[in-house]
Amino acid sequence: NAGVTQTPKFQVLKTGQSMTLQCAQDMNHNSMYWYRQDPGMGLRLIYYSASEGTTDKGEVPNGYNVSRLNKREFSLRLESAAPSQTSVYFCASSEPLKGWTGAYEQYFGPGTRLTVT
C-alpha cells in the first residue's frame, strides 16, 4: 500500500496564479483532510471530508476550495494564490479504530511545499 500520496512535492507560484494540489489514499478511508503547517503555528485544518460527496470548512478555509472526487481522492485548489498561502500542505485520511467509539487515527501524506512570490 502506498498510503497517502500527494502531488506535487514542491511548487512555486506567482501571486494571482491558480493551482490544484492532489491527494489520494489507497486505504479505503472515508474521512480525508487538508492541513497547512506554518512555523510556530502547528497544523491548521483547511477543509475536511467525512465521506465521498461531502466537504466541510475547517479553521482556515479562506482562499481555498476542495473537491472530493471519489473515495480515494481529495484535491485542494488555490484560485488566486497569495504570499500568505506560502506553507507546507498536508493531506491526511483517517479510519475509526476497531472496537473504539469515536476514536480514529490520521495517516498523513508526505506534504507539498508551496511558495507564493
Partner 1 sequence: QQPVQSPQAVILREGEDAVINCSSSKALYSVHWYRQKHGEAPVFLMILLKGGEQKGHDKISASFNEKKQQSSLYLTASQLSYSGTYFCGTENTGNQFYFGTGTSLTVIP
Which residue among 60, 111, 114, 116 contacts partner 1 (CB under 8 A)? 111
Nearest CB to partner 1, comparing residues 91 and 116 = 91
> Within positions 80 to 109, which residues make up the interface with partner 1, using CB under 8 A?
90, 97, 100, 102-109
Sheet hosting strand 74-78, strand order edge to edge: 4-7, 19-25, 74-78, 64-68
Verify cis geometry, omega within 30 degrees of 0, for the bond prior to 8: yes
112 binds partner 1 (CB under 8 A): no
Instruction: Quote the cell numbers at residue 33.
Output: 483532510
Which residue among 19, 22, 44, 73 contacts partner 1 (CB under 8 A)? 44
Given the C-alpha cell 473537491, which residue does it identify? 67
2 binds partner 1 (CB under 8 A): no
